[in-house]
Chains A and B, each alone.
Chain A
Amino acid sequence: MNRRPMFLMSCLVFGFAFFYVPILSLIIFSFNKSRLVTVWGGFSTEWYGKLFNNAQVMKAAVLSLEIAVTSATFATILGTMAGLALARFRRFRGRTGLSGLVTAPLVMPEVITGISALMLFIFMAQWIGWPANRGFTTITIAHITFSMTYVAVVVQSRLSSMDLALEEAAMDLGARPWRVLVDVTLPVISPAILSGWLLAFTISLDDVVITSFTTGPGSTTLPILIWSKVRLGVTPDINALATLIITVVGLGVVAAAVIMHRAEKKRERDVQMALSQGSMT
């Protein structure tokens, strides 16, 4: 039995090296003094300094964050409703249709989603005069549409594993339905709603393909800016920008995971405390 774990462990080491060496290389070369990205010319942080003085990059970053926060918030509301509908309302007319519409954007190639959204906006502009030009609104609508389905899937799966007895108990104890929803159901599924929001936020913040079709003149998001520069080749300032984004998102994800893990642990402890106290009395 000893030989196979050795083999598996070396696969793990190799696999994680494959995951992280390219990212590490990118980070290391962001501190390269030389303008030639691939040849080491000494340590320097000048690219980071230049980045913060680059108004174009800053403007794109702000626009990206605005779109990501707006679209993640709307996507969370719509996605939670869809998840609630699919998990709790067993039979309604068009249930298959809704569950199909929730799954389809997940598997649709992004380029098709992008093209179809652009055509819709162009025809809408021609027929009803709105949206007059493409930019913040059209990008946000497109982002809401495909990220709400991720939220719906996350919320739905949490709801279907939730213990219905909790709601029943609250109602038996005389709580009004809205209070049950606000005080029992939503807190229980809140980790799922939170991770749905984070998922929608990062998807929006990272999206290139759908944004590139739904954007208009003057609305350059950060990924679109990076995309247009990257097509021309590798430059050290993009490395610096990439390092910043990867560090911020990476730390955020790790922090969120640790917080959720702790909250889950605490909840388990509370439940056990309550159970042991209940059995004592």
Chain B
Amino acid sequence: MQSERGRLARWFDARGWRDLIIGIPYAWLIAFFLLPFLIVIAMSFARRADLSPPIAFLGQWPFIQWENYARLFSDTIYIRAFFTSLLNAAVATFFCLLIGYPMALGITRVSKTWRSVLLMLVILPFWTSFLLRVYAWIGLLGSNSWFNQGLTTLVNAVLPADMAFRSLPMMNSNFAVVLVMVYSYLPFMILPLYANLEKLDQTLNEAATDLGSRPCQVFKDVTLPLSVPGIIAGGLLVFIPASGELIIPSLVGSASDPMIGRVISDEFSLARDWPMASAVAVALLMLLVLPIMAYSHFEKRAQEQAEAKA
């Protein structure tokens, strides 16, 4: 059993280059990712003070006091923000799936040339600026925009005349947050779904059809169960970043019912309560640990499968 993959790797090992190749990125990530994160954890046990930096550790080593964490439960703003974040993220994930699934399935059913064009069109918004895509929606949601006015006309056509809207109050609401999140994260749903659906064996569909299943039965009994891994991967890729989102709730969200990302940022920059911001951050990560672990589990399995094939 060779411990390394290939002679080249073994040569590097023998000459000590290996340690450098591993050590340099390792040291960098420890210094600039792990260490700062440990500071956040330590900070969550401190207390706000009028110093520079504005913190103080109380008591004796190891200075642990749970005051900030107790406030997470006593102050309703935090619980509410957590609830709003998870709800918004879940609703956005659901709608991403609802829109993304037929799109991914549709892309597998077109010719090869069209496939690469359509995939390009899915990836393109992902490369162009996230901030600018959110900005584009500010223009659409505002009360005087053609989009809002058009929707208002549609809604008013259904409603009785005395209930008619001047414009729809869409801006600065959780509706806007969910809508823009669906818009921004849709590629994250479509791509893993497409990768999964593309690999499905078409002959299974044909067999089911030949045996007399109707198209929607084929979908329910064959395609859908086989695409569960894609649904899980896509769902987690949308849900995880959406629940910690800061840009979207800051630009189109409601100030009275904020998401947790905004609470952390405000607590840190406006209230200058670094310990509290750190405690909220740690709590958010605790909430995300399960989905993150599920995600890395699925990633690892997919990678092992890819390696087994190679």
Contact = CB atoms under 8 A, between A and B. Distances in A.
A73 interface: no
B135 A238 contact: yes
B121 interface: yes
Interface of B is mostly: helix
B244 A164 contact: no
A171 to B, nearest CB: 6
A25 B28 contact: no
A107 B263 CA distance: 19
Interface size on A, as a range, is 35 or more
A123 to B, nearest CB: 7
A218 interface: no
A81 interface: yes
A112 interface: yes
Contacts of B159: none
Contacts of A208: 130-131, 247
B216 to A, nearest CB: 8
Nearest to A110: B246
A216 to B, nearest CB: 14
A55 interface: no
B303 interface: yes
B39 A111 contact: no
A57 interface: no
Given A8-B106, A39-B144, A226-B132, A81 B25 contact: yes
Contact of A90 (B4, B8, B107): B4
Contact of B32 (A8, A36, A117): A117
Given A94-B26, A109-B241, A167-B7, A242 B129 contact: yes
B13 A89 contact: yes
B99 interface: yes
A234 B139 contact: yes
Contacts of B219: 4
A253 B140 CA distance: 26
Interface string B129-147: 1111101111110101111
Contacts of B120: 254, 257
B162 interface: no
Given A87-B5, A206-B130, A119 B40 contact: yes
A54 interface: no
Contacts of A20: 121, 125
A38 B303 contact: no
Interface of A: 1, 3-5, 7-9, 11-12, 14-16, 18-20, 22-23, 25-26, 29, 36-39, 78-79, 81-82, 84-85, 87-92, 94, 97-98, 101-105, 107-113, 115-117, 119-120, 122-123, 126, 141-142, 144-146, 148-149, 152, 157, 160-164, 167-168, 171, 177, 180-181, 185, 202, 205-206, 208-209, 223, 226-227, 230-231, 233-234, 238-239, 242, 245-246, 249-250, 253-254, 257, 261
Given A115-B265, A117-B36, A234-B138, 9 more contacts: A5-B106, A19-B122, A78-B25, A88-B4, A98-B29, A115-B278, A146-B33, A148-B28, A233-B138
25 contacts: A1-B215, A8-B106, A12-B102, A12-B107, A15-B102, A26-B136, A81-B22, A91-B4, A103-B296, A112-B40, A112-B264, A115-B264, A120-B35, A126-B53, A145-B32, A160-B306, A167-B8, A177-B8, A205-B129, A206-B129, A206-B130, A208-B247, A231-B250, A238-B135, A245-B132
